[in-house]
């Protein structure tokens, strides 16, 4: 092409590069539920960042996380274990409303919001209070409607005390060798719902004995249904955890036993995503 031809040539129109949000939104499956290889690869990268890596070694802590998807390649549940430079360890689990890429985007906001506020030295209740404000502001700015249930526990291993706050999350189970399984009930409303009720966010403290085991799940477990329509429920979950803590030799085996019981109950047909965390504190 000569210089004159280049000058008078029609301008080349290029499509703008998609934003990360647009790329994530494209991960929602088509009506037949299939994914391309590229979509699955992108989803796997996203999910690796939303879940705790079990290969991290933390003195005095053994943990395992698991995730079971009901339908899509990505979802809105997160599990995180985070070791702070002062020696404290945070355990968190959250269930974000909605499905697919949009829920996963909000899940990322929750995960890294929890880490950020806790790293500033905020208590568990103030972490959730700050996250709630951020979540509500983000909903307003992005013009979205999203909410989340969130549990966060911060363990001071030297004092053997865990401070926790639970924003409308499923009761978390704490097994202690001397007392058995107790449930840690919600201490606050859901994240992202009430913009004038930040004062309702509270926290509680629990002394953690050596050998204690913390087990947390999302409501995909308790709301799993049998072919007859019965819910798995909290009572079955507590019974499964109680049996597993005595039979399992590792946290991975404990989670496998509990989720195996859920899978048998619903005959392998999940209605919702499941996230689970098991932590043994020595």
Please say whether the beta carbons of 134 and 188 come within 8 A. Answer: no
pLDDT in tens, 93-125: 999 998 777 888 888 899 999 999 999 999 999
Residue ranges of alpha helices (H) inside 120-250 are: 124-142, 219-222, 233-247
Q: Is residue 147 within 8 Å of 97, Cβ to Cβ?
A: yes
Hey, where are the domains in the chain? 62-281
What pLDDT does residue 240 have? 96
Average pLDDT over residues 15-22: 44
Contacts (Cβ under 8 Å, ≥6 apart) of 282: 60, 61, 62, 210, 211
Please give the Cα distance from 212 to 230 (Å, whole number): 31
Residue whose entry in the numeric block shows the structure tokens 């109680």: 242
Is the distance from CB of 255 to CB of 44 less than 8 angstroms?
Answer: no
pLDDT, mean over the chain: 84
Q: Which residues contact 50 (CB under 8 A, 6 or more apart)?
A: 77, 78, 104, 107, 108, 111
Q: Look at residue 28 and tell me whether its pLDDT is greater than 90.
A: no
Read off the pLDDT band of 146 (50, 70, 90). very high
**Dihedral pair phi/psi, residue 240, rounded to 5°:** -65, -40
Token pair in block for residue 90: 């945070």
3-state secondary structure of 151: strand
- Supply the pLDDT for residue 51: 64
- Name the residue with higher pLDDT: 270 or 85: 85
Class of domain 62-281: alpha beta
């Amino acid at each position: 092409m000569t210089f004159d031809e280049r000058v008078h040539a029609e301008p080349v129109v290029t499509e703008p590069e998609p934003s990360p949000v647009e790329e994530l939104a494209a991960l929602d499956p088509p009506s037949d539920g299939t994914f391309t290889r590229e979509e699955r690869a992108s989803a796997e990268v996203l999910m690796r960042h939303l879940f705790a890596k079990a290969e991290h070694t933390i003195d005095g802590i053994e943990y395992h996380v698991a995730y079971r998807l009901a339908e899509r390649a990505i979802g809105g549940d997160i599990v995180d274990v985070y070791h702070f430079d002062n020696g404290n360890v945070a355990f968190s689990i959250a269930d974000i409303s909605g499905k697919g890429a949009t829920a996963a985007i909000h899940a990322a906001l929750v995960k890294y919001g929890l880490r950020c506020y806790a790293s500033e030295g905020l208590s568990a209740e103030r972490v959730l209070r700050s996250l709630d404000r951020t979540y509500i502001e983000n909903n307003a700015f992005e013009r979205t409607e999203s909410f989340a249930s969130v549990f966060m526990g911060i363990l001071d291993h030297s004092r053997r005390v865990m401070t926790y706050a639970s924003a409308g999350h499923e009761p978390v189970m704490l097994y202690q060798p001397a007392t058995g399984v107790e449930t840690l009930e919600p201490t606050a409303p859901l994240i992202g719902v009430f913009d004038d009720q930040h004062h309702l966010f509270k926290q509680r403290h629990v002394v953690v004995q050596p050998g204690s085991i913390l087990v947390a799940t999302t409501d995909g477990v308790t709301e799993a249904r049998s072919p007859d329509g019965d819910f798995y429920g909290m009572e079955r979950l507590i019974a499964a955890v109680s049996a597993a803590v005595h039979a399992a030799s590792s946290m991975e085996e404990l989670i496998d036993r509990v989720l195996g019981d859920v899978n048998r109950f619903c005959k392998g047909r999940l209605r919702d995503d499941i996230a689970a965390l098991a932590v043994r504190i020595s």
